[in-house]
Amino acid sequence: MIPVLLILTPLVTGLVSLLLKQSETAKGWALLSSLVSLIIAIAGVFFYPKQQLVFDAAWLPDLGSRFALQMDGMGKMLCLLTAVSFPVIFLATYRNEYRNAGRFYALMLLTQAGLTGVFVATDALLFYFFWELALIPVYFLCSIWGGERRIPVTFKFFIYTFIGSLLMLIGILYVYFHTPDRSFAMHSFYRAVLDARMENFVFWLFFIAFAIKMPVFPFHTWQPDAYEQSPTAVTMVLSGVMVKMGIFAVIRWLLPVFPHASVHFADVVIVLSVIGILYASLIAIRQDDFKRLIAYSSIAHIGLMSAAIFAGKSAGLNGVMVQMFNHGINVIGLWIVADAIEQQLGTRKFSELGGLAQKAPALAVLLAVMAFANIALPLTNAFVGEFLMFNGLFQYNMWMAAVACISVILAAVYTLNMVQKVLYGSTGSITEQAGETAPNVQWALVLLAIGIMVLGVYPQPMINLTKDSVQAVLVNR
């Protein structure tokens, strides 16, 4: 019942939030709901046996589809990431004001329900249902509460994701008709009989859908604008949790259903991923906007995960599992800092900042921790994940790994350049009046910083949690 509770809690509380009129009431209700989900997730991950992490009930029996949920190691990790992220986001943005706050938080909670469903669904049609449930609220969140260019940006986001979803649905239906028992069950999909030509074709239907969501070059162009124009709380969800939908889907559905095509096209995907890593890193160096820098940095990090997945090595896959969680909390930390600065000073441009370490020393220390994690400095959580991913990529192809390693230098350039421009130098007319951020923001950042340091020193629990999922992927290849 744990997976059901993780979906029902934000779903029901989100619907209730639609009825709330007062902004403070809606904020408190959303934070309370997310904390309840966090308690349930912690209980499911650490205290409940496997048999209580499975749910199976009739849903659409005439179509061979069941309401089937399961939390394996990877599912546990991503449910925990989702459950940790939302209360941190709500806490960090608690003082932000939104018109029709009840509706805003209702859509945020519905997004959480959809994300959790994606990570636990073991029926392809149910997986698609939750995939759309996670995306639809985001369309409204971006188009109603976004920035000045929200309408064209949201339309572009809609077109990309709509095309991706349509391609995936076509692929799901094709595989369904080639399953031995006409079933949408995950293990029936794994046993689907596809000839080599059609497997290669349907592989791309699924991959393009997942690549758009990650995103991977060249399917990434919607992302920087969407991150910039979305409300920062929504951007945190998009970059911290929602991009993991694509990575998770590749591991859960793409590789096992199309094992031969995954190997056949591995070089193509890895080359695209490495191009994306370097391309995004070089563009990040040129950015003067905090949000856009984080957006391009995220593309680079996701590109490395994509390359490591298709390398198909145990070390690389272990690194991807660890990094999915670590990237989530690291990038959310950077977004919190960006939002705190924008809320206080009204700007995100590095050229208008400077000297904040003199005015807000606590924020400076916390930003430094997030920045060091972003460049995978040893003793931060990202170091272990990146080391393992590069290890796996090196085992697959030394030259591709060598080219991808250039991103380590580039990441240090744009991240440390950002730190220098924001924290050091003399204060200007805008930053002269700066002060420490609100206590709720500091608490959110402190909690994330603790997680970064703990997982940097001792990552073994996360590796142990997902090792069975890694072995399952390798067996199916």
Predicted confidence (pLDDT) per residue in 193-212, tens digit: 888 888 899 999 999 999 98
Pairwise CA distance, residues 255 & 325, whole Å? 20
Band the pLDDT of 45: cuts 50, 70, 90. Answer: confident
Pairwise CA distance, residues 473 & 464, whole Å? 15
Residue 249 in contact with residue 210, Cβ under 8 Å?
yes
Q: Which of 21-25, 367-371, 427-431 holds the top average pLDDT?
A: 367-371
Q: Quick check: helix, strand or coil at residue 64?
A: coil
Four-CA torsion 104, 110, 114, 119, nearest 10 degrees: 90
Between residues 8 and 341, which one has the greater pLDDT? 8
What pLDDT score does 288 carry?
A: 83
Q: Please enumerate in sequence order all residues whose Cβ is within 8 A of that of 207, keeping only pairs 6 or more positions apart, or say none.
A: 250, 254, 265, 269
Q: Please enumerate in sequence order all residues whose Cβ is within 8 A of that of 331, keeping only pairs 6 or more positions apart, or say none.
A: 236, 239, 240, 294, 297, 298, 301, 374
High-pLDDT (> 90) share of the chain, %: 27
Decide if pLDDT at 112 tops 90: yes
pLDDT in tens, 275-312: 999 998 999 898 888 888 888 888 888 999 999 999 88
pLDDT in tens, 400-416: 889 888 888 998 998 98
Based on its alpha-carbon atoms, the radius of gyration of the chain, rounded to whole angstroms, reads 21
Find the helix or strand (DSSP H, E) in which 362 lies.
helix 361-374
Residue 146 in contact with residue 153, Cβ under 8 Å?
yes
Pairwise CA distance, residues 130 & 109, whole Å? 13
DSSP state of 286: T
Q: How far is CA 217 from the centre of its chain?
A: 16
- Distance set, CA 36 to CA 87, 296, 315 (Å): 9, 33, 35
What pLDDT score does 3 carry?
A: 87
Q: Quick check: helix, strand or coil at residue 182?
A: coil
Which pair of tokens denotes residue 363? 């924020």
Pairwise CA distance, residues 387 & 9, whole Å? 37
Angle 23-46/101-120 helices, nearest 10 degrees? 20
Residue 222 in contact with residue 156, Cβ under 8 Å?
yes
pLDDT in tens, 89-103: 999 888 888 888 889
Percent helix, strand and coil across the chain, each to the nearest 5? 80, 5, 20
φ, ψ at 92 (rounded to 5°): -65, -30
Residue among 437, 423, 352, 458 at smallest CA distance from 95: 437
N-terminal to C-terminal alpha carbon distance within the chain: 31
Decide if pLDDT at 51 tops 70: no
Pairwise CA distance, residues 120 & 303, whole Å? 24
Neighbouring-strand partners of residue 80: none
DSSP state of 180: T
What pLDDT score does 95 carry?
A: 84
Pairwise CA distance, residues 316 & 431, whole Å? 43
Which pair of tokens denotes residue 30? 């959303």
DSSP state of 18: T
Decide if pLDDT at 358 tops 70: yes
Q: Which of 51-55, 222-226, 377-381 holds the top average pLDDT?
A: 377-381
The angle at the Cα of 208, spanning 274 to 253, to the nearest 5 degrees, equals: 100
> Furthest-apart CA pair in the chain: how many Å?
69
Residue 382 in contact with residue 372, Cβ under 8 Å?
no
Decide if pLDDT at 477 tops 70: no
Q: Quick check: helix, strand or coil at residue 49?
A: coil
pLDDT in tens, 137-166: 988 888 888 777 778 888 888 888 888 889
Mean local confidence (pLDDT), 54-58: 85
Q: Considering the chain, what is the average pLDDT of its residues?
A: 87
Mean local confidence (pLDDT), 9-14: 92
Between residues 215 and 168, which one has the greater pLDDT? 168
- Distance set, CA 168 to CA 112, 145, 181 (Å): 21, 29, 21
Four-CA torsion 430, 436, 442, 445, nearest 10 degrees: 40
Decide if pLDDT at 456 tops 70: yes
High-pLDDT (> 70) share of the chain, %: 99
CB-side neighbour CA atoms (13 Å) of 297: 33
Which pair of tokens denotes residue 243? 């991009």
φ, ψ at 21 (rounded to 5°): -100, -35
Pairwise CA distance, residues 393 & 399, whole Å? 9
Length of the chain: 477
Pairwise CA distance, residues 190 & 259, whole Å? 9
